[in-house]
Copies of this chain bind each other. A is one copy, B any other.
Amino acid sequence: DFAAMEKITIGIVGGDGIGPIIMEQAERLLRVSLAEEISAGRIVLKQIEGLTIENRTALGKAVPDDVLAAIKECDVLLKGPTTTPKGGTLESANVTLRRELDLYANVRPVQVPEEGIDWIFYRENTEGEYVLGSRGVEIPGKLSMDFKVTTEAGTRRIAKAAFDYAAANGKDNVAIVTKANIMKKTDGNFTRICHEVAADYPGIKADDWYIDIMTANLVNKDIRSSFQVFVLPNLYGDIITDEAAEIQGGVGTAGSANMGDQYAMFEAIHGSAPRMMEDGLGDYANPSSIFKAAEMMIRHIGFTAKADKLAAVLEECCEKEKKVVVTGFADGATCKAFADYVIGKL
């Protein structure tokens, strides 16, 4: 309960690629948005260094021990995207943090007001393909194998989170999205457990969908606005939320909350954009997604009015006015110029 806390520590983690660029602006935004609380000592922003690909590779640790310790001293985190090497055995920093902090619900809202789209995705965030992803086996030159693991308890808690949200927000429908016709054990049980949980929420309909047709549904303008709440295993949630974010205006526009019972970590849904960095376009990175994440974080720690204010400004800047537009290319605004514009309105 944040209201009862004397001091709330927000950890700021820069990340790789465009990470430090967007995080610099996100930190400015926080300092303006939470100025009084920071000067009163109620909120402390704590820079956490060392979660870089160079450092992680050198140490052979997805999240170096001292970084993890520093993170665990924070109450909530705002995190920039981190890079994961292809192949090798170094696990993703994201995935490791989600597991170490037991952030089991990845919550991603997507809205397109003019179309009546108001989606929220409850992505299971600690299991599935991600849990043994760096510990697959191979017979070199012949065969590789990776494992997908889901637990009864892990599924039950994400299902509960999704249905709780639906119940608290007057939604009458939850879409359970799997590939249970193929992955009969993991996704089959995921589906079963979601329906067991659904039975406790009599007013809410639980519908089964396959992930392939659901990615098609999101493109279908005749039906897509009828979907409300989605609950999905990790990988499908990963895939479909990028698609959904693009429908909202770009993966640069959607924030993501990683929620556990003890910790919460807020981040952009996009990656570290190595291609942009290679092309020398890092300064043109879109900070909207991390700004939305910051808004979600401010709301989470209980400053509802501040979050509402920020949400309104972001909606104005990103959706309505569109005066300072970040295109991700040199023909658009820079990350800093866009941040100046947003901060100017606060």
With the chains together, A142 CA to B92 CA distance in Å? 26
A84-124 contacts to B, CB under 8 A, are: 84-89, 92, 95
CB contacts (< 8 Å) of A239 on chain B: these are: 211-212, 215, 236, 239
Interface size on A, residues (CB 8 A): 66
Q: Is the beta-carbon distance between A216 and B152 smaller than 8 angstroms? A: no
Structural contact, B220 and A145, CB atoms closer than 8 A: no
CA distance A167 to B144 in the complex (A): 28
Provide the residues of chain B in CB contact with A217, threshold 8 Å: 246
Total copies of the chain: 2
A144-B185, A186-B136, A213-B251 known; A243-B246 Cβ under 8 A? no
Q: Chain A at the B interface: mostly helix, strand, loop or mixed?
A: mixed
User: Which residues from B are CB-within-8-Å of A191?
Assistant: 86-87
Q: Which residues of the other chain, B, contact A75 by a CB distance below 8 angstroms?
A: none
Nearest CB of B to A11, in Å: 23
- The interface residues of chain B lying within 8 Å CB-to-CB of A188 are 86-88, 144
Tell me if A141 is interfacial: C-beta within 8 Å of chain B: yes
Q: Which residue of B lies closest to A182 (CB)?
A: B133
- Is A345 part of the binding interface, using a Cβ–Cβ cutoff of 8 Å? no
A149–B215 Cα distance when bound, in Å, is 24
* Inter-chain contact B181/A92, CB cutoff 8 Å: yes
The answer, yes or no, to whether A319 is at the interface (CB within 8 Å) is no
Q: In the complex, are the beta carbons of A243 and B271 less than 8 A apart? A: no
Instruction: Give the distance in Å from the alpha carbon of A138 to the alpha carbon of B184 in the complex.
Output: 10
Does A225 have its Cβ within 8 Å of any Cβ on chain B?
Answer: no
A:210-257 near B, CB below 8 Å: 210-213, 215-220, 235-236, 238-243, 245-247, 250-251
Greatest chain B CB density within 10 A among A181, A191, A192, A235 is at A181
A85 vs B148: C-alpha distance when bound (angstroms): 20
**9 residue pairs from A and B, CB less than 8 Å apart:** A88-B188, A92-B182, A129-B182, A133-B182, A136-B185, A145-B186, A182-B235, A219-B219, A219-B247
